[in-house]
Structure 1
Amino acid sequence: MSPVIALRAPLEEDLAPFITLLGNLGVPHRVAEQGNEQVLWVPDEHIAGQVRELYARVPGGDPNFQLVRAPVASSRPGFFAQAKHSPLTLIVLALTLLVALLTWGGEDYDVVRWLSFVDFQIEGQYIYFGTFAQVVDSGQWWRLLTPMLLHFGILHLAINSLWYWELGRRIEARQGALMLSLLTLWFGLASNVAQYVYGGPALFGGLSGVLYGLLGHCWLFQLLAPNAAYKLPRGVLVSMLIWLLICMTGVFELLQFGSIANAAHVGGLVAGCLSGLIGGLLARQFARR
């Protein structure tokens, strides 16, 4: 549930009596100054409509007016209720699961090679990668995006899927399915290209670059245009950034836990911060009108 604007009033208007009445009625609210106006925010449109009705009667307050509040859910919506409003998020996760099944968790290299950033051949114990020029010459442009659907192992798939569900549905709820699809493609492209440019031809994949893009988008957007959907617990942001720094130290490669596509993570985060910066500035500008 996202806060909505119930009233806008000139700066010179004294809203104090009306705000006092709202407090006496127990109506959650927040007043902010935007441009040359006072803006009154309330939790939902149901309350907003009644607040406007009250304000229309007597701006100074009517002691006999009673607000009829909508029932408040005792807990957050369940999975199916959230899924109903997050179709694009589910589609991306379904595609990721389908690719995981088709590639047997990244172990069927005959399928993986068609989805990797560049083609490769395995001869004995050696793997030989193609080049990006060959991708361009053959017109296999899907390779710029499909590595984000590749996952290597159940744990890799499960962690990334859970984070995409958590972050993706927030953006879909706040900015819509079309915006989430565009951002997912943008972050996937940015993270894949960053990894290839930095690390050269190699086998990499996963939604983690996209996840860092979603994180950066929510982070910067929320700083510039605060909203309930993008308000992440501070521990989430800090832990993911710390995890990124730990991965960049190379400790996991040193312990032979496998390679981590750090450039993809950084590329996704930078792309997400850029989109969050632009989106947040635009949202703040529209809110002032």
Structure 2
Amino acid sequence: MTAVEAMRLPEHVDLTGFISLLQRLQVPHRVAEETGEQVLWVPGEQLAEQVRELYGRYPQGDAGVVLEPSPAFAEAAPGFVQQLKASRMTAAVLLLTFIAAAITLLGDNLATVSWLSFVDYRVQGDYIYFSYLNDTLASGQWWRLLTPMLIHFGILHLAMNTLWYWELGRRIEASQGAVMLLGLTLLFSLAANFAQYLHAGPSLFGGLSGVLYGLLGHCWIFQRLAPTPAYRLPPGVLVMMLAWLLICMTGIFELLQFGAIANAAHVGGLLAGCLTGLLGGALARRRNS
């Protein structure tokens, strides 16, 4: 179903309450910023008319009003294919991640993992001998600065990271576009990988988690400076993610022999995300004022 523009409002209009109402009614929607305006998109003209009528009645959302989800809203809910079409860049990154997981056998095939690792290495017996970054880059293997984000070790590692990327990536793609999402993903991957290498030296690490913390930080700080419905995360998400980061940094998982955690990559991604959120939010706030 084709996305239809339901409303176009100035950026200074606070849509937070109305978006919460749409969420309560289970109305599929997305909000994007375009040249100083907020554009609310929904799947289908019929649903667009209903949303416009609803906004005329409850522009602030009126949280005290009890409404039941409309059958028409439920019928118009986009299927998985429609969601993929609306989030093509998010889906493309995830597709590459799944391909890498298959090729590397979820990290078990060290020969193919070496194609994507931050620095090259060779396996000899029970030992892995790593190259240094200068040697790797001198041989022209620049892709390694980014590709560790595609490596995952185990099905749980892959499932958690891809689910969070699907959630956060779609928000940024809907609000700031596919090109911005790709740029942020590559930037956060670079920051996370360098942070981990500087902290631990030549080693084997990977996963989208550094990028995820970058996306989280971007949405968090951007929302604080220039409130945007798309970046309004559920209250417990930020607390949970930061608490998980702190728990991992205690070293408890290494102590319990669950494997090493690339904590420096998480911190590097988060700091980079906070910086981009600060810059982007400040620019958006300046435009709004």
**Which residue identity is paired with 2:284?**
A
Q: Secondary structure at the match of 2:101?
A: helix
Q: Deviations over 1:105-129 (max 9, x none)?
A: 1111111111100111111111111
Which segments of 5 or more consecutive residues in structure 2 lack a partner in the other structure? 14-35, 43-47, 57-70
Deviations 1:160-198 (A, max 9, x none): 000000000100000000000000000000000000000
- Equivalent position amino acid for 1:5 in 2: L
Alignment partner, residue 26 of structure 1: none
Q: How many residue pairs end up in the alignment? A: 242
- Structure 1 residues 249 and 226: CA distance shift in structure 2, 3 A: same
Structure 2 contact 9–38 (Cα < 8 Å) conserved: yes
Matches of 1:148 and 1:198, distance apart in 2 = 17
Match of 1:66 in 2: none
Q: For residue 235 of structure 1, what is the aligned residue in structure 2?
A: 236
Q: What's the CA shift string for 1:82-106, capped at 9, x where partnerless?
A: 2211000000000000001111111
Aligned match of 1:100: 101
Question: Structure 1 residues 266, 157: CA separation in 2 closer, same or farther (over 3 Å shift)?
Answer: same
**Cα pair 2:122 2:130 within 8 Å, conserved:** yes
Amino acid at match of 1:227: T
How far did 1:73 drift?
2.1
Against the structure 1 CA distance between its residues 7 and 121, is the aligned structure 2 distance closer, same or farther, given a 3 Å change threshold? closer
State, as a whole percentage, how many aligned pairs show the same letter: 61
Between structure 1 and structure 2, the one with the greater Rg is: 1
Match of 1:166 in 2: 167
Q: Give TM-score scaled by structure 1 length.
A: 0.76
* Structure 1 runs not aligned, ≥5 long: 10-38, 55-70
Letter in 1 for 2:73: A
RMSD: 3.0
Q: Which moved more, 1:78-87 or 1:183-192?
A: 78-87
Q: Give the match for residue 9 of structure 2.
A: 5
Contact 2:6 2:39 in 1 (8 A): no
> Which portions of structure 1, spanning 4 or more consecutive aligned residues, are displaced by more than 3 angstroms?
1-4, 6-9, 39-47, 74-78
Question: Structure 2 CA distance, aligned partners of 1:7 and 1:142?
Answer: 39
Aligned to 1:254: 255
Partner-residue secondary structure (3-state), 2:230: coil
Identify the residue that residue 123 of structure 1 maps to in structure 2.
124
Residues in 2 aligned to 1:239 and 1:268: alpha-carbon distance in whole angstroms:
17
Task: Give the match for residue 73 of structure 2.
Answer: 73
Could you tell me how far apart the structure 1 residues matched to 2:6 and 2:145 are? 35
> Is the 8 Å Cα contact of residues 11 and 288 (structure 2) preserved in structure 1?
no
Moved more, 76-85 or 262-271: 76-85
Instruction: Give the conservation status (yes or no) of the 8 Å contact 1:2–1:228.
Output: no
- Using a 3 Å threshold, how does the CA distance of structure 1 residues 160 and 284 change in structure 2: closer, same or farther? same
Is 2:253–2:259's contact at 8 Å kept on the other side of the alignment? yes
Using the alignment, how far apart are the partners of 1:150 and 1:90 within structure 2? 17
Contact 2:146 2:193 in 1 (8 A): yes
1:129, 1:97 → 2: CA distance? 26
Counterpart CA distance in 2 for 1:2 and 1:285 is 26
Please state whether the residue corresponding to 2:129 is helix, strand or coil. Answer: strand
